[in-house]
């Protein structure tokens, strides 16, 4: 154990130095947190092995030798972490108990006139928070809590003397940091100083301000754009870039990086007003001109603080800077002083860490997929890993050049990033963990589809493309794109259903969507009601109905892990709950508790006579006899429970001259592994299955059977209601349910409920990979994968009706949406709208020459070539000719009714650049078109006005100025659309 602790300390110190001193972390934050958590657990279990300089007792890393050292008069501390709601509540509970204990001790000392050394240390903030506060001590109230964003940057301290910024330092190891005064003085963003060099009159004589220097996302993107333009590598992330920029030896370089700062606390303070709360402290700092984050809020409970955390989670990608969590602080400064600190962190604050957006895992394979326009994209097949709030098993690698640049190889440990709704991507390998002699991955020459086609890469293009118009992958992608929300918006026809319909040969092109006939839908109904069969290796055949295959599909690794944890937990539940789970005749919660109080072990209960059991208060003779009958008929099941480690109460005393039976030997002698029951199950198997279902089902509200008199039923109901109210009516096998029980039984994984506790759930992966077959009355055999059969389970009559209606409704979509659905290479949504506006109907576009198309403002020669090539292809013409006449004659606007707008912009061409506060990107274009105007994507001589918002494109502004085109701000644009008059 000492060796592992020493190893962890060395590892964490190494990564602390890389992160804090060199701005070059080699592992994600989550990997670091795991190392730190393991060390904390080991030190808690072995306090004698805790070292004074352990990373759990210190902060950060020693400062680098590039800058002069600065000693912090008041240490810059770290924060303890909470990773879920329970840990956040536990922090608050510890703080309340500590306050109560300190006050109780202080009151006792005042009463006795004594004061212990221990209490002095605690009130001054010394000593570790070892969690030994008496839980019985009544809790004190914490009052309000202040909730702040946790910024992903570099912690610094600014020292003002008589209002002048005299020194700035990094946190370093908490006691000594690095002098970065010159670089802090150089900070500038958007033409303004990031921090004031001098505070207004009346500022404290000495004021140390703590905060975080960060790089706004806009500055980070601009820096990377500059790097690419100069042929230099991109920076990895804003945090490391900010830290590296702040540590530049030349402050003029720092000045160009666009760094900013948020202030959130103070260190040494001499002078200034007396303040009572942390919130008023922040308001005071803001009044001095220091940057304080506006997202800070005050709440009155941990529940309200959790809502703030949830908002952080939901909105983190809407912010113009990166955050990695939230910080919750006790608001009252006097309570902060009472709570004090450990050697590394205050007890009055905690940091909630948002789910990781970067994580390490193993790269199993690199495969290539072909999209709707023929683009061949490499993607990584990964060992599943939880990142960005979900489990990720695949991640994009973009193109061949990116794979070469990142140098990822099969077998590598790689860093995966998933931010919000962004597609997961592989950032690169962890070279320190690369096995020797891993071969370089080569991009394949052939398209991965069944047709033998060589992939092409055109000069100047980063991507490979499949040129085959009949490529199955391209056709599938085209249909999926056609039905998507931004195209024809056909509800109930998502990617999985498209793939299923293609597999069943119901559709082969976008035109086939509109030719789905009643026979096709009848086929779906027939397959939904079918029985499917599969064989695992040379084992017996497995027979499942569609609903059970769907249940199998849902048991992914995440759900299996939850189920396994539930199973393990249920092995250690009270004996009374196990008895209730047996569903013995008339044995409910209340009676089970009475039985287990009299006989505290299951063996004692089953060995007792019916007469002895009936002597227990509340146990009728009929119940006692039912217990005896059950024990005789289910001995093998009870042995399985014992063998699986299910706790059965307080162990009975061994009988003289005897020893407990060898369960392993008995099981091997009496039981053989379960096997699939076959297409038709026997009466015995049906009864066994019913026992499993009864075991996993909730306790019935009344006894079963036909011979109970009315009083017995009333007694049972009354006792059960009282018991369930007191115990929460814990189910005996939470997480399985009848459907999963049936699935496990028909797969042959269980033969009775005793098998549930020794299940190897990972073997379900083998069943999920099977191909399932069935044969209908048409004598055609259908073979589908597990997830494809699962799709059939959702095809009730209502869902089929909804799909048919959605297909019919899509016939009224606009010409622009139809063009989006046709998926012409190089054309995005805006270009499709421009094309629709220019020609008005599909036939005119199809007849247009490439030269005419290129003349359209917002199209250009590359798009014109793609349009002309698309409509000149005979196969495409054939598909378009098969579309419904309503679509072939689609007009510019949607046929759906909309509120009429005054045509104030009729004949005008308005270009918008940058973000407008009152509009989304799509919304501003729609507002212009609704009022009769055009909204192309580029400035030309035909442009009426250029509207500029936040971060406009420099090229559009330059062109507008050269052409003498009016440039409007958002307020002027609003007046224009309301009045139709130029400002």
Contacts (Cβ under 8 Å, ≥6 apart) of 556: 391
**Listing from the earlier edge strand, what are the strands of the sheet with 154-161?**
164-170, 154-161, 206-214, 260-270
Contacts of 404 (CB under 8 A, 6+ apart): none
Strand ranges (E), 407-537: 413-417, 425-429, 464-465, 531-535
- Extract the tokens encoding 800: 């089929």
Angle between helices 663-670 and 635-643 (to 10 degrees): 130
Of 392, 343, 390, 338, the residue nearest 363 (C-alpha): 392
- Helix, strand, or coil (residue 525): helix
Contact 243, 170 (CB under 8 A): no
What is the DSSP code (8-state) at residue 18? I
Whether 12 and 338 have beta carbons less than 8 Å apart is answered as: no
CA distance 370 to 347: 54
Partners of 910 in the β-ladder: 945
Torsion of CA 441, 447, 451, 452, to 10 degrees: -70
3-state secondary structure of 580: helix
Helix (H) or strand (E) holding 502: helix 495-503
CA 386 to chain centre: 7
User: Measured between alpha carbons, how far is 966 from 983 in angstroms, rounded to an integer?
Assistant: 9
- CA torsion sign for 151, 157, 262, 249 is negative
CA torsion through residues 251, 252, 254, 259, sign: positive
What distances in angstroms separate CA 735 from CA 555, 560, 645, one per listed residue? 11, 10, 19
Exposed (0-12), middle (13-18) or buried (19+): which is 657, by Cβ within 10 Å?
exposed
Cβ–Cβ under 8 Å, residues 555 and 764: yes
Pairing of strands 81-82, 349-353: parallel
Q: Which residues are catalytic?
A: 150
Cβ pair 351, 327 in contact under 8 A? yes
CA dist 28 and 23 (Å) reads: 13
* Dihedral sign from CA coordinates of 909, 915, 955, 399: negative
d(CA 369, CA 476): 12
Please check whether residue 346 is in contact with residue 78, taking contact to mean a CB–CB distance below 8 angstroms: no
CA 359, 362, 365: angle at the middle one, nearest 5?
125
Outline where 634-761 has alpha helix (H). Answer: 635-643, 663-670, 683-696, 710-727, 737-746
Which tokens belong to 321? 């800077």
Q: Which residues pair with 464 in a beta bridge?
A: 376
Torsion 818-822-824-827 (CA) sign: positive
């Amino acid at each position: 154990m000492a060796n592992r602790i020493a190893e962890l300390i060395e590892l964490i110190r190494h990564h602390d130095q890389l992160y804090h001193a060199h701005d070059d972390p080699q592992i994600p934050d989550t990997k670091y947190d795991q190392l730190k958590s393991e060390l904390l657990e080991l030190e808690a279990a072995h306090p004698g092995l805790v070292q004074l300089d352990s990373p759990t007792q210190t902060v950060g890393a020693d400062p680098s030798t590039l800058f002069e050292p600065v000693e912090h008069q008041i240490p810059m501390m770290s924060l303890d972490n909470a990773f879920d709601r329970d840990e956040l509540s536990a922090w608050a509970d510890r703080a309340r108990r500590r306050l109560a204990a300190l006050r109780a001790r202080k009151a006792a000392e005042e009463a006795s006139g004594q004061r212990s050394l221990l209490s002095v240390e605690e009130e001054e903030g010394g000593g570790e928070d070892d969690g030994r506060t008496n839980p019985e001590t009544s809790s004190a109230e914490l009052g309000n809590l202040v909730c702040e964003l946790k910024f992903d940057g570099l912690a610094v301290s600014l020292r003002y003397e008589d209002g002048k910024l005299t020194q700035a330092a990094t946190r370093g190891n908490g006691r000594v940091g690095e002098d970065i005064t010159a670089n802090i003085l150089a900070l500038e963003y958007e033409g303004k100083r990031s921090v004031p060099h001098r505070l207004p009159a009346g500022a404290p004589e000495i004021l140390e301000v703590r905060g975080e220097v960060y790089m706004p996302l806009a500055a980070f993107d601009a820096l990377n754009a500059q790097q690419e333009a100069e042929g230099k590598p991109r920076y990895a992330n804003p945090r490391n870039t900010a830290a590296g920029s702040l540590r530049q030896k030349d402050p003029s370089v720092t000045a160009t990086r666009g760094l900013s700062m948020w202030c959130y606390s103070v260190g040494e303070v001499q002078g200034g007003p007396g303040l009572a709360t942390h919130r008023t402290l922040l308001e005071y700092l803001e009044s001095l001109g220091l940057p304080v984050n506006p997202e800070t809020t005050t709440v009155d409970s941990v529940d309200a603080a959790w809502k703030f955390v949830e908002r952080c989670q939901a909105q983190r990608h809407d912010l113009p800077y990166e955050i990695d969590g939230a910080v919750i602080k006790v608001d009252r400064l006097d309570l902060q002083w009472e709570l004090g600190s450990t050697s590394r962190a205050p007890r009055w604050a905690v940091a909630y860490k948002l789910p990781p957006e970067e994580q390490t895992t193993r790269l199993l394979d690199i495969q290539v997929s072909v999209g709707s326009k023929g683009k061949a994209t490499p993607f990584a097949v990964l060992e599943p890993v939880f990142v960005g709030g979900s489990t990720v098993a695949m991640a994009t690698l973009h193109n061949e050049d990116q794979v070469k640049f990142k140098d990822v190889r099969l077998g590598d440990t790689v860093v995966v990033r998933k931010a919000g709704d962004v597609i997961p991507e592989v950032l690169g390998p962890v070279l320190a963990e690369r096995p020797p002699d891993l071969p370089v991955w080569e991009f394949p020459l052939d398209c991965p589809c069944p047709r033998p086609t060589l992939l092409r890469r055109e000069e100047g293009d980063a991507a490979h493309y499949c040129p085959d118009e009949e490529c199955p992958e391209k056709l599938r992608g085209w249909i999926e794109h056609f039905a998507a929300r931004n195209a024809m918006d056909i509800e109930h026809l998502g990617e999985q259903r498209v793939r299923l319909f293609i597999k069943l040969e119901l559709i082969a092109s976008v035109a086939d969507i509109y030719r789905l006939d009643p026979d096709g839908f009848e086929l779906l109904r027939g397959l939904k009601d079918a029985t499917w069969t599969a064989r695992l290796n040379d084992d017996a055949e497995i027979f499942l109905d569609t609903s059970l295959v769907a249940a199998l599909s849902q048991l992914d690794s995440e759900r299996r892990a939850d189920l396994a944890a539930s199973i393990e937990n249920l092995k250690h539940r009270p004996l009374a709950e196990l008895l209730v789970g047996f569903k013995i005749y008339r044995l409910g919660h209340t009676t089970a508790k009475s039985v287990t109080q009299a006989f505290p072990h299951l063996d004692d209960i089953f060995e007792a006579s019916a007469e002895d059991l009936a002597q227990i208060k509340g146990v009728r003779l009929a119940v006692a006899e039912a217990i005896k009958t059950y024990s005789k008929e289910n001995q093998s099941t009870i042995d399985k429970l014992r063998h699986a480690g299910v706790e059965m109460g307080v162990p009975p005393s061994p009988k003289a001259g005897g020893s407990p039976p060898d369960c392993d030997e008995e099981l091997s002698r009496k039981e053989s592994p379960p096997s699939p029951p076959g297409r038709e199950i026997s009466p015995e198997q049906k009864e066994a299955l019913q026992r499993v279902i009864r075991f996993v089902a909730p306790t019935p509200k009344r006894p079963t059977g036909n011979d109970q008199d009315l009083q017995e039923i009333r007694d049972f109901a009354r006792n059960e209601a009282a018991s369930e109210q007191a115990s929460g009516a814990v189910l005996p096998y939470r997480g399985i349910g009848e459907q999963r029980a049936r699935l496990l039984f028909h797969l042959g994984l269980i033969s009775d409920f005793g098998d549930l506790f020794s299940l190897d759930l990972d073997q379900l992966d083998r069943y999920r990979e099977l191909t399932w077959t069935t044969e209908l009355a048409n004598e055609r055999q259908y073979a589908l994968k597990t997830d494809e059969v699962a799709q059939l389970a959702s095809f009730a009559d209502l869902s089929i009706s909804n799909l048919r209606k959605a297909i019919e409704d899509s016939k009224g979509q606009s010409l622009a949406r139809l063009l989006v659905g046709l998926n012409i290479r190089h054309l995005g949504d805006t270009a499709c709208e421009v094309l629709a506006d220019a020609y008005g109907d599909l036939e005119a576009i199809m007849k247009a020459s490439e030269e005419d198309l290129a003349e359209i403002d917002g199209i250009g020669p590359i798009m014109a070539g793609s349009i002309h090539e698309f409509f000149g292809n005979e196969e495409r013409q054939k598909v378009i000719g098969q579309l419904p006449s309503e679509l072939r004659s689609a007009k510019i606007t949607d046929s759906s009714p909309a509120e009429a707008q005054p045509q104030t912009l009729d004949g005008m061409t308005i270009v918008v650049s940058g973000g407008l506060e009152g509009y989304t990107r799509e919304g501003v274009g729609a507002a212009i078109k609704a009022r009769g105007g055009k909204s192309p994507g580029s400035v030309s001589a035909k442009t009426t006005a250029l509207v500029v918002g936040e971060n406009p494109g420099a090229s559009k502004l330059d062109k507008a100025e050269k052409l003498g085109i009016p440039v409007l701000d958002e307020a002027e644009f609003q007046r224009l659309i309301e009045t139709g008059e130029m400002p």
